[in-house]
Structure 1
Amino acid sequence: MNAAALFGGSRKAEPGLLPDPRLGNPMPWVIAIVIALTVIAAGSGLALRNAATSANATLNGGVIVQIVTAAPASRNQQADAALAALTRTPGVIEAHRVAQDQLEGLLEPWLGTRPGDTIDDLPIPALIDVRMADAATPDRIKALRATLAAVAPAAQIDAQAAWLTPVFRALATLQWLAAGLIALLALATIAAVVLAARNTLVNHRETIAIVHLLGGTDSQIARVFQRAAGIEAGIGGIIGLIAGVAAIVVLAQQFSALGSGMATGAALGWGDWLVIALIPLGGVGLSVLTARLTVLSALRRMV
């Protein structure tokens, strides 16, 4: 009788000493929880990356010009002059003044404007949305200021991306946190497999000694544990993947209801879903490798 037969790895109906991998064992459920959390963390990290990339691409060449003066006539005159100067500026591919009705719509919830009121009665800056061919670097912003200084002395120029710098930093931090969580979950998987393998080895120490006397090798014994760990991890991985994907879909629906452009840019692509689908395979590989190394290390100390 070989090692596989003694430990339940034969095809015959004889009972094995290792418990059969099934849902009644705790290990598949532990792996399922870990895989589900890993899927959610990976999906969140990928969505945050997509949101940051989309927002940065949209705002990278964007510039906002504000004409800040309380006099309506001077404000309108400088805005028209600034707009004309910007359309002639090299590197500017688009420039348009934000319409008054758009500003009124934005300010109405905050200022309580009523029909018949005009924004010209309020000291609200005139806004010009500028799109540049290249990134709005500090040097390009400085050049635009020099261009507008003569025709619109009240103009203030800011890169759109600069307004969202704290948001980008927060997104980057959250991505690192997601990566850290994935690393911790991988360590949790390793720890769970190590504990399970060591516990089984201790319970079957005498059987292992008999296998050695019958000519069984450490590699043969390790393969039995690898097989059990792989099956349990596979079962748990499938359950965890389904649960994790379901959670991601629910979260995606909740965020899409916000109607935010950044939420739309966070949508997962086919490549992202492929990465998520590979997570259970990674869990199986990690479990099998951990079981093999743990068993071989323990067997060397037992000899």
Structure 2
Amino acid sequence: MLSLFVIPGHDRRLIPEGRLSGPMPWVIAIMIFLMVLAAGAGLAFTEAGNNISDQLSSRATVQIIEANPALKAQQTEDTAARLRGMALIDEVRILPPKEIEELIAPWLGQTENQTGNAQAGSLLEDIPLPSLIDLTLVRPAGEDELEQLRAAIRPFSANARVEPSSGLIAPVIGLVKSLQWIAFGLVALLAMATSAAVIISARSALNTHKETISVIHLLGGTDGQISRLFQRRIALDALLGGILGLLCGAAIILLLGMQLSALGSGLVQSLRLSWFSWLIIAVIPILGMLLAMVTARMTVMGALKKIL
């Protein structure tokens, strides 16, 4: 590939080269800028989905369903004591009733008392809420682990349920994965658009320097030598435009990252890029340049075969 890029100085003077003088570098800069944003979004969604899955895959929730408050409290304590003695369990936490009410209150709405002040719906006092036990396992909770937990707590509460925490936000994980593939799809579409722009630029350059190409052919120049002249010019334009697009795109990603971190939301804060993701983003201009070189060579070689 380097042999296609390195050309003697006397050969380069056959076709004048500018620096950001034509539209091609700016088109490439815009494409790389959008590609960096799309790739950054896709990588951020990928890391967020993996982080959330890793955090929740080893967690589960036990629900103790019982209308009698005294019996429910006793079953909860007995179940928690049994779970603490299992080698599979790393941590057991019984959620306080107040915390459970705070979790369910937004789903029941609010009512107003006689003084007009908003208060939690009175339905909370009438509905027998289940007791919740939050579990942290020593390994990811598969079907075998969940069945083991169900068998362990069944003697203490026949109506107890064991649910993996990952299943509670499965729709969110599905949405994150969909956004991830949409972002990567945009990267592929932008790469195709970049190739189309390179094809148009190469054909335009061929038409502009048609007389020079004819003279080179008469002097014994080969199609490979001519194509290297054009692909070098386009590669330089792509590299300069790619660096410009990378800098602008990285600045936007850093700015958005600081704003998202200030929100304080757990899911939003997980949308961060690791050093490996930044390395992938930094390689995008190089990949764009290689794509432009290959596309330009194929376009020029195909056009020269039709001319001769």
Aligned partner of 1:200 in structure 2 is 205
Alignment pair present for 1:229 and 2:226: no
Contact 1:226 1:292 in 2 (8 A): yes
Aligned partner of 1:99 in structure 2 is 96
Aligned partner of 1:272 in structure 2 is 277
CA distance in structure 2 between the aligned counterparts of 1:17 and 1:227, rounded to whole angstroms = 10
* Within-5 A mapping of 1:256-267: 256-267=261-272
Shift of residue 142 of structure 1?
2.0
Aligned partner of 1:158 in structure 2 is 163
Alignment pair present for 1:74 and 2:71: yes
Aligned partner of 2:26 in structure 1 is 29
Aligned partner of 2:113 in structure 1 is none
Contact 2:36 2:281 in 1 (8 A): yes
Contact 1:107 1:113 in 2 (8 A): no
Judged with a 3 Å threshold, the aligned counterparts in structure 2 of structure 1 residues 205 and 3 are, in CA distance, closer, same or farther, namely: farther
**Residue 86 of structure 1 aligns to which amino acid in structure 2?**
L
* Within-5 A mapping of 1:161-180: 161-180=166-185
Aligned partner of 2:300 in structure 1 is 295
Shift of residue 89 of structure 1?
2.4
Aligned partner of 1:55 in structure 2 is 52
CA distance in structure 2 between the aligned counterparts of 1:140 and 1:208, rounded to whole angstroms = 72
Judged with a 3 Å threshold, the aligned counterparts in structure 2 of structure 1 residues 222 and 41 are, in CA distance, closer, same or farther, namely: same
Shift of residue 220 of structure 1?
2.0
Which digits, 9 at most, give the CA deviation of each residue in 1:79-104, with x for residues without a partner?
Answer: 11110111122311211101334335
- Which of 217, 226, 249 is 2:222 aligned to? 217
Alignment pair present for 1:46 and 2:43: yes
DSSP 3-state at the match of 2:20: coil
**Structure 2: unaligned runs, 5 residues or longer:** 1-6, 111-118
CA distance in structure 1 between the aligned counterparts of 2:104 and 2:169, rounded to whole angstroms = 20
Contact 1:233 1:284 in 2 (8 A): yes
Shift of residue 21 of structure 1?
3.0
Note the aligned Cα RMSD (angstroms). Answer: 2.4
Which digits, 9 at most, give the CA deviation of each residue in 1:151-173, with x for residues without a partner?
Answer: 12231210001112222222222
Contact 1:46 1:268 in 2 (8 A): yes
CA distance in structure 1 between the aligned counterparts of 2:155 and 2:30, rounded to whole angstroms = 64
**Residue 93 of structure 1 aligns to which amino acid in structure 2?**
D
**Residue 36 of structure 1 aligns to which amino acid in structure 2?**
F
DSSP 3-state at the match of 1:278: helix
CA distance in structure 1 between the aligned counterparts of 2:29 and 2:289, rounded to whole angstroms = 11
Contact 1:69 1:154 in 2 (8 A): yes
CA distance in structure 2 between the aligned counterparts of 1:30 and 1:105, rounded to whole angstroms = 53
Judged with a 3 Å threshold, the aligned counterparts in structure 2 of structure 1 residues 113 and 3 are, in CA distance, closer, same or farther, namely: closer
How many residue pairs get aligned? The number is: 291
Contact 1:72 1:121 in 2 (8 A): no
Judged with a 3 Å threshold, the aligned counterparts in structure 2 of structure 1 residues 4 and 302 are, in CA distance, closer, same or farther, namely: farther
Contact 1:39 1:244 in 2 (8 A): yes
**Residue 190 of structure 1 aligns to which amino acid in structure 2?**
S
Contact 1:230 1:287 in 2 (8 A): yes
**Residue 100 of structure 2 aligns to which amino acid in structure 1?**
L
Aligned partner of 2:116 in structure 1 is none
Shift of residue 122 of structure 1?
5.0
TM-score normalized by the length of structure 2: 0.86
Aligned partner of 1:131 in structure 2 is 136
CA distance in structure 2 between the aligned counterparts of 1:37 and 1:233, rounded to whole angstroms = 14
CA distance in structure 2 between the aligned counterparts of 1:130 and 1:4, rounded to whole angstroms = 70
**Structure 1: unaligned runs, 5 residues or longer:** 11-15
Aligned partner of 1:146 in structure 2 is 151
CA distance in structure 2 between the aligned counterparts of 1:184 and 1:30, rounded to whole angstroms = 15
Contact 2:15 2:229 in 1 (8 A): no
Aligned partner of 1:181 in structure 2 is 186
DSSP 3-state at the match of 1:90: coil
TM-score normalized by the length of structure 1: 0.87
